[in-house]
Structure 1
Amino acid sequence: MRGEKKEFNQDLADELKRMAEVDQIAAYIPQGEYKEMTESEWQSFKDSVFTTHQKRIEEVFNEFGFVGYDVVGKEGSSNFWVMVQHSDHNPEFQKEVLKKMKVEVDKGNTDSRNYGLLVDRVKLNTGQAQVYGTQVSYNMEVCQAFPKNLGDSINVNKRRKEIGLEPLENYLNDMAKMNFEMNKEHYSKKGVMEPKLYKTE
């Protein structure tokens, strides 16, 4: 019942871990056997993973609300969150989860940084400016990351600090380095030997 202490659920934690492993395969560039797939096969694999997972996590959400550390541990809570992140085809569901996630953040029962990432995802998916600048695009000519549609950029680092995120410039530089590693071939053809980074404190 609501208000009672929730019990730890190992079976659910294990299930979320298995789901998250597949989710991460679909969220990344094709590796191993998946490299053999055509572009359309890969796309339909990704879509089916994210859609199937969203249906299951919706069932979990309806039963438990946003699952925090008390129910599935730190890893389990993070695994649940990442699959909500990837439910972009259903922003209404993401919005519902976000409300319940805020309650758990305020109790210290889930990661406030993950909350910031979901806030931004929901904002962009519903046509609004993001708050924390966590969702990025890349200038593929020079390998530089930049935030998509960011509102009030002057105070963004103050907002990021409040939920435990590093300064935006550091984050964008990390994302650019990752993008460079993933697209080395593309950049070497353009004569780009390193990502273009922002100045940091």
Structure 2
Amino acid sequence: MKKFICLALIIAAFQSCNKHKTLTEASKKQVIQELHNIEVLDQKFAGIPPQVLMDTYGPEKAWDIFEEQRDSVGVVNQERIKKLYETYGYLGEKMVGKEAATHFWLPIQHADNDEPFQQQMLIAMGKEIEKGSKDKAHYAMLEDRINVNLKQPQRFGSQLTYNKLGQAIPKIGLVDSLRVDSLRNAFDLPDFKTYYNQMTIMHFEMNKSLFVERGINEPLLYQ
């Protein structure tokens, strides 16, 4: 495991395994619905401020309000995820299916305010993967997220930012740029160039007028 994972978290993860309830078919339906509700709330604040907020307060104030609301919702969702984990353990693909597993993972991925929680979930997810759960992409993205927050380079390049030309680039950098595609493939992620070109195109379209003003009339893609 990565050096940033402390022994206390590992011990806590082992101790918690014996306290989890079995997820019955009846409780599974309730859990999946709860995870759906969590995802709906999470995605409500995943994009940009609504236009009515921008029109009412202006872009700068609107973003301040939106981010404060997003942080508040994030904490609420994290607490809901923690309760589910304490009850049933890590709800990965093998336990609740691919869609619900993504809904469980999202608030963890966004929990930058609670790094020990993210690290604990990374360990728990790793154990589910060892048991055959197909959560490798989630694992890779969470590991990268933790490392970026710790100002360390990423293994998979899933966390990105943009240069002055609008091209997607890895935040903090990569551990090994020569092996990044083989790692991404092993963890069910699309190849580096495809992913970064997709994100470059998306970023250009969202900010097209600004780029055109600067003389950039089309996204600059990796060849």
- Whether TM exceeds 0.5 here: the answer is yes
Counterpart AA for 1:111: D
Q: Matches of 1:108 and 1:129 in 2, distance apart?
A: 28
Deviation at 1:93, TM superposition (A): 0.3
Aligned to 1:143: 166
Give yes or no for contact 1:6–1:70 (8 Å, CA) kept in 2. no
Deviation at 1:147, TM superposition (A): 0.6
Deviations 1:27-74 (A, max 9, x none): 211235454562221121111111111111111122222102343222
Structure ID, larger Rg: 2
Q: Matches of 1:82 and 1:144 in 2, distance apart?
A: 25
Aligned to 2:181: 157
Q: Matches of 2:132 and 2:43 in 1, distance apart?
A: 26
Query: Are 2:146 and 1:125 aligned?
Result: no
Q: Matches of 2:23 and 2:31 in 1, distance apart?
A: 13
Counterpart AA for 2:167: Q
Counterpart AA for 1:144: Q
Q: Matches of 2:140 and 2:53 in 1, distance apart?
A: 31
Match of 2:220 among 188, 196, 200: 196
Counterpart AA for 1:142: L
Q: Matches of 1:153 and 1:80 in 2, distance apart?
A: 30
Give yes or no for contact 2:160–2:170 (8 Å, CA) kept in 1. yes
Aligned to 1:12: 31
Give yes or no for contact 1:7–1:71 (8 Å, CA) kept in 2. no
Deviation at 1:185, TM superposition (A): 2.4
Between 1:71-80 and 1:24-33, the stretch displaced more is 24-33
Aligned to 1:173: 197
Match of 1:48 among 69, 72, 77: 72
Deviation at 1:76, TM superposition (A): 0.8
In the superposition, the TM-score normalised over structure 1's length comes to: 0.89
Deviation at 1:95, TM superposition (A): 0.4
Shift in CA distance, 144/63, structure 1 to aligned 2, threshold 3 Å: same
5+ residue gaps, structure 1, are: none
Query: Are 2:54 and 1:30 aligned?
Result: no
Give yes or no for contact 2:125–2:135 (8 Å, CA) kept in 1. no
Q: Matches of 2:114 and 2:90 in 1, distance apart?
A: 16
Identity %: 34
Aligned to 2:210: 186
Deviation at 1:107, TM superposition (A): 2.6
Counterpart AA for 1:193: N
Deviations 1:97-150 (A, max 9, x none): 0001111223332321121111101111223221101000101x3210001121
Q: Matches of 2:205 and 2:92 in 1, distance apart?
A: 33
Deviation at 1:156, TM superposition (A): 1.0
Query: Are 2:139 and 1:115 aligned?
Result: yes
Query: Are 2:123 and 1:99 aligned?
Result: yes
Secondary structure at the aligned position of 2:179 is classed as helix
Aligned to 1:85: 109
Q: Matches of 1:40 and 1:69 in 2, distance apart?
A: 35
Give yes or no for contact 1:144–1:197 (8 Å, CA) kept in 2. yes
Deviation at 1:167, TM superposition (A): 1.6
5+ residue gaps, structure 2, are: 1-16
